[in-house]
Amino acid sequence: MTAHMKQGAAVAGGRSPSRSTGHRRWTRTGMALGSLVLASSVACKDSNIPFYTSPTSISNSPDGIQNAVTGLIAASRQDVGNYIFYMTMFARDEANIQEDNPQNTLNGLGLDAIPPAQDIAWDNLYLSIGAAINVINAVPNVVPAYTAPQAAAVVGIAQTMEALNLMILAETRDTLGIPVHAVTSGGVGPVYCNKDVWAQIVAELDSANNSLQAAGSIPLPVKLPAGFSSVNTTAAPSTTPGSFAAFNRALAAKAGLELAYAIARNAAGTAPTPGTSGAPDVNALTRADSAATASALYTPTSLSPEPTGGWTDSPDGVFWDWSAQAGDVVNPLNSAQGVWVTLRTLVADVDTINDLRWKAKFGPNPFGLQLAQYDSITVRTLYTAYAATSTPIPIIRSEGLVLDRAQIQLGLGNFAEAITLINNVHQSVGGFATPLTIASTYTAVRDSLMKEERISTVFESSNDRTVSIRMYNLEATADTTFGTRDLHTTVIPVPAAEIQGRGGQYTVTCPSM
């Protein structure tokens, strides 16, 4: 039995003002952790994160579950704008340059430290995690009862969404660590280091996949948003187009890759350096590779050019949806186009004359530069793929998944396979008639991969380039230094309120070391 099938532990202690969440008000805790200790760096049980606000009532009917799942996916979008905002600037691809808030540029580009006061990509994600657990706990009480496969399908969906929220938290905080487990005896629990966080996420995705496989090829008992149309037909198997398990395995491939390098970075002498590969965990990479090839979203030989004129929900990926309809929210990046400015550091890595990805995603910038002092590091082009308030934002696409697998193969030392996958993307999506000539060495493959990754995933969630810069220890190498005060920042601080709720201490622990 997964930990999710048990009732979440009571939330202990309050660190922030109570917030209205429907039926009543409840004081939230600093992100509570748990008594469940990780057994190893690559194998652990599910998390049991409590609902960090008032447990909203879910009607014990299929309609009630449907409403809750719809709400869970909608809530999981709330910090996507902030998430992409920072991850894209950390990669030195775009900058938020505006005269009424000039500090945004200094913070995002790592010239000044980001202040920890704000709740950036934190509370909303934990609230969504709590909502996922609420759905899971409600499934056994549905009347008329779900069949066993139907119940397993809903649980698998909710567990996958929970893991996705944890992935965003882990990618934005990296070595700062995050809380994962529930508290059973009051107070707040430990903050886990990044390798144990990623081990937890991988385990969560595997548990979700087990649920989806138990459900099998039944039609999903809940409807998913249009952005999930590529994975909204059946629960499993993951290799079948239209199965939700295909989305789960795609996320598991990415999470496993990040776990492999988190393990290496936490052990003396095994972290990559700018000139060496280090020793990413082979077991984690092997499991990640199996997850990638088990996903119907992984289509290395049938990639196609990206759409021009803005993203659309398509069968090769999963997307966050937005709209201007009452009760919904608009694409959070569409309205920022006037102040999002493309950096020369991105353009230097792209063939802007011939690359179809550049032509599909970027166009002339009709807006004037608000702060003239940044003219030397910017270009007059604009990311145009979020053309409307309803344009979807990619969560994961086949193109990115192919490059994830190229990274997995690189970590395993299979340079030839990595080069083949890189060229699948370069030619089929970039539109080049001839493949790249890449030397069969670690640094040559890595550098070529990161160039393709940069233009393929720029301004999406997540910006994979920032993750790669960290994994390969390239913060001060891959990111151009902007002056003598450059901090080469790639993480968002933990909110000050979280630290205050812990008595001023935010101490990371690695119990599996």
CA–CA gap between residue 237 and residue 244 (Å, rounded): 8
CA–CA gap between residue 197 and residue 77 (Å, rounded): 21
Mean pLDDT, the chain, whole residue set: 87
Q: What is the pLDDT of residue 470?
A: 95
Higher confidence at residue 30 or residue 116?
Answer: 116
CA–CA gap between residue 179 and residue 191 (Å, rounded): 5
For 264-315, how does the pLDDT look when each residue is reduced to its tens digit (9 = 90+)? 999 888 999 999 999 999 999 999 999 999 999 999 999 999 999 899 999 9
Q: What is the pLDDT of residue 354?
A: 98
For 302-333, how does the pLDDT look when each residue is reduced to its tens digit (9 = 90+)? 999 999 989 999 999 999 999 999 888 999 99
Where are the chain's structural domains? 1-79+121-267, 90-115+299-503
Asked if the model's pLDDT at residue 212 lies above 80, the reply is: yes
Q: What is the pLDDT of residue 482?
A: 85
Q: What is the pLDDT of residue 181?
A: 73
**Average confidence (pLDDT) over 453-481:** 92
Q: What is the pLDDT of residue 183?
A: 53
Asked if the model's pLDDT at residue 22 lies above 60, the reply is: no
Cis peptide upstream of residue 390 (ω within 30 degrees of 0): no
β-partners of residue 319 are 394
| Res. 440 pLDDT band, cuts 50 70 90 | very high
CA–CA gap between residue 69 and residue 63 (Å, rounded): 10
Asked if the model's pLDDT at residue 104 lies above 90, the reply is: no
Higher confidence at residue 33 or residue 186?
Answer: 186
* Residue 167: closest CA among 131, 203, 136: 203
* Residue 455: closest CA among 340, 345, 380: 345
Q: What is the pLDDT of residue 219?
A: 98
Q: What is the pLDDT of residue 7?
A: 26
Q: What is the pLDDT of residue 117?
A: 77
CA–CA gap between residue 159 and residue 222 (Å, rounded): 14
Lowest mean pLDDT among 92-96, 148-152, 435-439: 92-96
DSSP, collapsed to helix, strand or coil, labels residue 340 as strand
Q: What is the pLDDT of residue 294?
A: 98
8 Å CB contact between 349 and 432: no
* Residue 35: closest CA among 195, 252, 185: 185
Q: What is the pLDDT of residue 71?
A: 94
Asked if the model's pLDDT at residue 10 lies above 60, the reply is: no
